[in-house]
Structure 1
Amino acid sequence: MNPSFGDIYDRYQKLTLTTHLPAVIACSETLSLGKDQGFIPQPGYLYFLLQGQMTLAFGDEQNLVGIVIAHMPLGLLEHYCPSVALYYQCLGECQLAKITASDFERIFFHSSPGYMQELTTILAYMGIFALDAHYERGSQTQLSDPLNRCCRAIYIAAKLMGVSMRACRHLLLNEPISRAAMYQVLAALREGGYITVKKGKLISIDRHIPEKF
């Protein structure tokens, strides 16, 4: 992938892709999930993550792909390709809006060209991030060095978990850890009271960090 991955990620974060949410919420049922709770979409329904963060895996939690990107409709891939089995897990407390597949199609396909454009943009970036993850796992050149393998995972973790780049490097050093594992490590450190983070900066390391991290 292009080395300007960070620029691509930042661009996505700055896009306005939520004008469809009022229409979604208006016909939705609210679903609340607890920390570490697993989730499999119910056939015939799609879900929008309103609060929290979730990981995505093929089949079960052992086959992690990464973090569910912002605005990604959960259950969309499974609805249009039923042979795909995806497993989601909450990194913390999560809240989702659950709508029927028919409502999804009504909102995005028949009500507003703007909503369709938002969905198309989300799907395009989903593809870009999927290609990047595939490249990261398969490259034997640029990402073969442990530090390079960490850079993208550290970048995303810093953005989503509120930990600065310097803090991530300090905590995780140069280990060739996957981005999905990176998220779990950072979340566990914060939840376990090992680190204090405010406004995206590491304030202190409050307890001895166990070797498992």
Structure 2
Amino acid sequence: MNFSQIEKPRDAVEKILSCFPVSKPCLIEQGQTLPIKTRNENQPRKIYFLLEGAMISSVGENEKKQNLGIVVSPSIIGLGQLAPAGAIAQYEAIAPCMVDSTNVDDFIKVIEEQHLWPDVIKVMLTIMNSLAARTTTSGLQSAYEIIKSNLLYMESETTYMLKERYTVVKYMQTFSRLSRSIILKILSELKAGGFIEMNNGKLIRINRNLPEKF
């Protein structure tokens, strides 16, 4: 499984969001972070609704920080809070974002009243598949296979225009532990072979099927 094969269950997301009228929208500026769960257990856990914009999700701090992926609106953030222990995660806006939220208990109440658990499961399964794909590309594949998977994702993801926002090298370094020199070497070979077209470091298009091996 790779990123290009994972499709967001947009119908399920929009069905859930329709049951939570926007009440207290908050603007998150680019570079600001959104905590999913504070370490102060006295504060209620929350489910967040990303109404506009996009965020990078991550866990850990400093040198142990691991970027997990990009979340694009409309999205529901923090479903891991439905578990008893929850999960501490962080989301950083890569563009101005409009976010609303509700307490976990209120979220569960509405979901049960509207019989929306099948839709919640669809959303959670997509998140799990994305994390599984990210794990697969983080250490179990060759450098070329990691780059190939990310190139295919950049090519297929059109909602937030990743190709226009990121240079290929920056995107690869954000979501992999590959060195800049390795990334540049493989990209150079792919360009020379006519497989990809780039301009000023950004991916323009994939011209033909990428080779299985490098």
Bucket of the pairwise TM-score, normalised by the shorter protein: 0.5 to 0.7
User: How large is the RMSD of aligned CA atoms in angstroms?
Assistant: 3.5
Alignment of 1:122-141 (within 5 A): 122-139=123-140
Quote how far apart the aligned CAs of 1:149 are: 1.2
Is 2:77 aligned against 1:74? yes
**Aligned residue number for residue 24 of structure 1:** 20
Find the aligned partners of 1:155 and 1:179 in 2 and give their Cα distance.
16
- Asked if structure 1 preserves the Cα contact closer than 8 Å seen for 2:81 and 2:104, the reply is no
Q: Deviations over 1:153-175 (max 9, x none)?
A: 2233341442559x98xx537x9
Structure 2: 5+ residue runs without aligned partners? 38-43, 177-196, 201-214
Q: Deviations over 1:84-116 (max 9, x none)?
A: 3211100010111211222211221222x3x22
Structure 1: 5+ residue runs without aligned partners? 182-201, 206-213
- The one of the two structures with greater contact order (alpha-carbon pairs below 8 A, sep at least 6) is 2
Find the aligned partners of 1:55 and 1:86 in 2 and give their Cα distance.
11
**Aligned residue number for residue 153 of structure 1:** 150
Q: Cα–Cα, structure 1 residues 87 and 148, in superposed 2: closer, same or farther, change >3 Å?
A: same
* 1:122 partner amino acid: V
Alignment of 1:1-213 (within 5 A): 2=1, 5-6=3-4, 8-9=5-6, 12-13=7-8, 15-17=10-12, 18-25=14-21, 28-41=23-36, 43-60=44-61, 62-68=65-71, 72-82=75-85, 84-111=87-114, 113=115, 115-139=116-140, 143-144=141-142, 146-158=143-155, 159=157, 160-162=159-161, 171-172=167-168, 177-178=172-173, 180=175, 205=200
Q: Deviations over 1:99-143 (max 9, x none)?
A: 1222211221222x3x2221110111111111111111131xxx3
Find the aligned partners of 2:86 and 2:17 in 1 and give their Cα distance.
28
* Count of residues paired in the alignment: 171
Percent same amino acid at aligned positions? 14
Q: Deviations over 1:160-211 (max 9, x none)?
A: 442559x98xx537x9925637xxxxxxxxxxxxxxxxxxxx9975xxxxxx
Quote how far apart the aligned CAs of 1:74 are: 2.1
Find the aligned partners of 1:73 and 1:60 in 2 and give their Cα distance.
23
Quote how far apart the aligned CAs of 1:148 are: 2.2
Could you say what secondary structure the match of 2:108 adopts?
Answer: helix
The alignment's TM-score, normalised by the length of structure 1, stands at: 0.65
Find the aligned partners of 2:53 and 2:77 in 1 and give their Cα distance.
13
